[in-house]
Amino acid sequence: MACVSDIKVLRERCVRCGDCIELCPQSGDSVSYPVFISDGDTGEIKVENPESCFGCMTCFEFCRASAVIVSGAPPPTDKQEVFPARKVISMI
């Protein structure tokens, strides 16, 4: 599993919407070692486990404030490996 060399959330740009946590397949309440976490008191988004990131770039692409910076991600391919981190309850 490829991992990125560096991932950051720019505090001065972050609007604390939580989209990075919700959209990242390696973050959220059901993930043991999430890439992103939210400080419960301030809502500040932090990178907790960068080694869990496999470089899908979802956080970077969907950040409404362009606050997520990812360095060293593998180049996108037509066949991106997927590593599900959440339990599937139902398929629609």
Per residue in 53-62, pLDDT tens?
888 889 998 9
**pTM > 0.85: yes or no:** no
pLDDT-derived band of residue 16, with 50, 70 and 90 as boundaries? very high
pLDDT-derived band of residue 1, with 50, 70 and 90 as boundaries? very low
Domains of the chain listed by start with CATH number: 6-71 (3.30.70.20)
Closest CA to 43 of 66, 23, 22, 14: 14
* CA distance linking residue 54 with residue 82, whole number of Å: 9
Maximum Cα–Cα distance across the chain: 40
